[in-house]
């Protein structure tokens, strides 16, 4: 099968338009908790109900994720939330002798049906309607018996974070001391909820040390 260079060029342009900010964040450093919360429009915990892919009417390849929402930590959504991010699950035959090779780029969040997950989501892109997690793979946390961890195994998640110690209980202090690896999921969600509801970032109670 042949590869259609025009289709690939168009898809690459779409990817640059949709993801330039998020891509730059990942290239610079691991996204920490201040960036994940501060840049997210939605923070959701729930179960992935379905993962499909396709190509929309404009020729933009996408992966569509359907989530059963158990807890909307930030944002007003229903019991089911559906969004699309750029890229196919795997290369797709276009039926005319060509292949669309624009799969989900390396470093982006990936999903599997049945996963318990916590998502930090940017707002939808105005032109494409596509939506990605903040920090890409850093903004998708899989919850398992060992705890919650993102695709970077939580590397840098609590690095360079300064927070008013009077706001922290013993459980939150333990979470923030994690250098790498899974954290207790309930404690992590509780911490994120407190950051959001208490407006810690907006009020300067939590911030990046290097800024």
Residues with Cβ within 8 Å of residue 96, at least 6 apart in sequence: none
Bridge partners (DSSP) of residue 118 are 45, 141
* Neighbour count for residue 103 (Cβ, 10 Å): 17
Bridge partners (DSSP) of residue 150 are none
Residues with Cβ within 8 Å of residue 19, at least 6 apart in sequence: 86, 105, 132, 136
At 21, the pLDDT band (50, 70, 90 cuts) reads: very low
- Residue found by looking up tokens 């961890």 in the block: 149
Residues with Cβ within 8 Å of residue 109, at least 6 apart in sequence: 85, 119, 132, 133, 136, 137, 139, 140, 151
Distances in Å between the alpha carbon of 80 and those of 44, 68, 86?
Answer: 11, 5, 20
At 16, the pLDDT band (50, 70, 90 cuts) reads: low
Question: Is residue 193 over pLDDT 80?
Answer: yes
CB-based contact 68:47 (threshold 8 Å): yes
- Rounded Cα gap, residues 201 and 71, in angstroms: 21
At 150, the pLDDT band (50, 70, 90 cuts) reads: very high
Which pLDDT tens digit goes with each residue over 92-124?
Answer: 887 777 878 888 898 899 999 999 999 999 999
Question: For the chain, what is the mean pLDDT?
Answer: 87
pTM of the model: 0.85
Rounded to an integer, the average pLDDT of 179-188 is 94
DSSP structure string for 71-110:
EEEES---SEEEEEEESBSS-EE-SSSEEE--BPPTTS--
70: which 2 tokens?
A: 């158990």
Rounded to an integer, the average pLDDT of 166-181 is 93
At 194, the pLDDT band (50, 70, 90 cuts) reads: very high
Share of the chain above pLDDT 70, in %: 86
CB-based contact 150:138 (threshold 8 Å): yes
């Amino acid at each position: 099968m042949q590869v259609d260079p025009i289709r690939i060029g168009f898809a690459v342009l779409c990817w640059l338009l949709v993801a330039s900010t998020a891509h730059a964040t990942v290239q610079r450093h691991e996204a920490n908790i201040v960036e994940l919360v501060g840049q997210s429009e939605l923070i959701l915990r729930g179960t992935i109900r379905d993962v499909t892919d396709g190509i929309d009417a404009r020729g933009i390849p996408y992966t569509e994720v359907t989530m059963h929402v158990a807890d909307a930590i930030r944002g007003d959504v229903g019991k089911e939330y559906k969004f699309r991010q750029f890229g196919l699950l795997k290369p797709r035959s276009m039926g005319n002798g060509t292949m669309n090779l624009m799969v989900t780029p390396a470093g982006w969040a990936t999903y599997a049906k049945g996963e318990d997950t916590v998502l930090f989501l940017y707002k939808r892109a105005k032109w494409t309607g596509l939506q990605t997690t903040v920090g890409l793979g850093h903004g998708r946390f899989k919850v398992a018996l060992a705890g919650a961890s993102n695709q970077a195994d939580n590397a840098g998640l609590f690095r360079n974070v300064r927070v008013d110690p009077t706001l922290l209980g013993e459980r939150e202090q333990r979470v923030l001391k994690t250098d790498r690896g899974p954290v207790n999921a309930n404690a992590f969600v509780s911490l994120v909820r407190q950051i959001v509801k208490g407006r810690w970032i907006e009020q300067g109670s939590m911030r990046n040390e290097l800024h």
